[in-house]
Amino acid sequence: MKQPSPAPSIRDWIVVGSGFGGSVAALRLAEKNYSVTVLEQGKRYRDEDFAESAWRLRKVLWAPKAGLMGIMALTPFRHVSVLSGVGVGGGSLVYGNTLYVPHSDDFYRHTQWADLADWRTVLAPHYATAQKMLGVTTFDGDGPSEQMMRAIAADLGVADTYHSTEVGVYLGTPGVRVADPYFDGAGPARSGCTRCGQCMLGCRVGAKNTLEKNYLHFAEQRGVQIEPERTVVDVRPVGAADGSDGYVVTTERSGSWLRRDRRIYRTRGIVFAAGALGTNLLLRKCRDNGSLPRLSERIGELVRTNSEAIVAVTAKDRTVDLRADLAITSSVHPDEHTHFTNNTYGLRGDAMSLNFGPLTAGRGRRLQFAVAILSAPLRWLNPLRARGWSQRSVVFTVMQSLDSSLSLRPRRPGGRMETHIADGSAPSSYLPIANRIAELAAKHVSGYAQTSVLESLINTPTTAHILGGAVIADSAEHGVVDRHRRVFGYRNFLITDGSTVPANVGVNPSLTIVAMAEEAITHIRTNEEQTP
């Protein structure tokens, strides 16, 4: 077998992943005068390259071995199914633009990290930086979807908790391209949001504040190299066992079967930021194959799902239009631990209908599912069922900050990762409040409520906000990274993505991942060797 040849130069830092945690690390390390390379397994998309509709599976779904190089991966496990973003910009390509600062002490004062810092105070300035960098603003519309949300809030007795979403979108004159409106002209030109609502398919307009419009844009201006379609398959120290002499990083061309185009990189420091799922899988692989034997045995523990449930409603009247201007436009807090949002897909998201079936609850969900389909076969088995679904449907993401977790471990060393029930409460695939929300929505739009098919058939929740598995702790006996996100057992080795988040956030976690990454890199000293 032909051996890969090493890269011609040694980088100061290699960042694995280009999402919310990786993009922050890349820019801030470059600002500290380090040379940085970012390795991203997904493709690089220009605005015009994103899918025109959800049926364009090659651009929507990530299954590289099958030739699908899209921006959304679906990874099913026994106890949870995970949706995650892939591509240069990571989750920012596919997420619903929603950028919230957590409000609950369930997060800030969780026992896993409460003794390490006053996190509400420590993270506050970094949340402010993240909001500025991501161009956070408040959504300004009020259409049928928002009015329905307001009515549901009133039905639940919490009308005063309804509020418009904080979003990362340029809400300028629709379709009009202007010079950078965020960074005194130093950023890329932008186009005003056209209110098409197709944010989660990838923004073809250029209004969505993806990471390529801010962090990655400025990182490349400072010399950061971004290499897409490179999957990291191994990381190991060079020389000293603790990595103090640097690391060798081995990659392959993403999706390759035979011609893997294996390449080796040398670096003085390494940052894992491949998303909570990707980082956990890579850490476990490197520990089990002996490349990084000093890693904590706690890899894959305290995996969080943000305690989510996903339900939907569809109006029976095919002329009803429930689309919102953006993917997510409003929020309601039924209690201090629970938060839900409306999600819509614009006119071209009809393929998403295949993810939803009859509303089910509690035990015996498969039987409920079958009975509901047999009771209304024309509704559920009609080949034209998907037509117009995204126009007259709203999906609700229900999140909770209550404590629950899973473990992610291989069945055998080097084997496929599987979920396991850990100590404490496991994430539930059925949240009564989620079903209540869907039923109330159905009443208001004269429609029918729905549950994720996976939740009904295999009794697993679906989450787009997987967190944890390499969490912050006071020692390797309790976690994988220390208070500064440095990996226990190694030097010059950081993790800056959602895998280090120690508790359910209870709101969309993107802004938290950015703020925590910002805080982590402040503890890296400036490279004096390259300072002018």
Q: Rounded to an integer, what distance in angstroms lies between the CA atom of residue 173 and that of residue 50?
A: 22
- Pairing status of strand 36-39 against strand 6-16: parallel
Contact in structure between 508 and 327 (CB atoms under 8 Å): no
Pick the catalytic residue from 126, 337, 465, 523: 465
Neighbours of 336 (CB within 10 A): 13
Per DSSP, what are the bridge partners of residue 342?
396
Contact in structure between 246 and 258 (CB atoms under 8 Å): no
Query: What is the longest distance spanned by two Cα atoms in the chain?
Result: 74
Cβ neighbors of 71 (< 8 A, separation 6 or more) are 42, 45, 50, 59, 60, 62, 85, 86, 87, 93, 94, 202
Q: Rounded to an integer, what distance in angstroms lies between the CA atom of residue 468 and that of residue 300?
A: 8
Compute CA 208 distance to the chain's CA centroid, rounded to the nearest angstrom.
Answer: 16
Q: Residue 89: CA atoms inside 13 Å, Cβ hemisphere, count?
A: 26
Residue 247, both tokens = 């690391």
DSSP string, 241-307: TTSTT-EEEEEEETT-SS----EEEEEEEEEE-SHHHHHHHHHHHHHHTTSSTTS-TTTTEEEE-TT
- Pairing status of strand 330-335 against strand 163-164: antiparallel
Contact in structure between 58 and 49 (CB atoms under 8 Å): no
Contact in structure between 251 and 230 (CB atoms under 8 Å): yes
Locus of tokens 């396991």: 420
Instruction: Indicate if 465 belongs to the active site.
Output: yes
Active-site residue list: 465
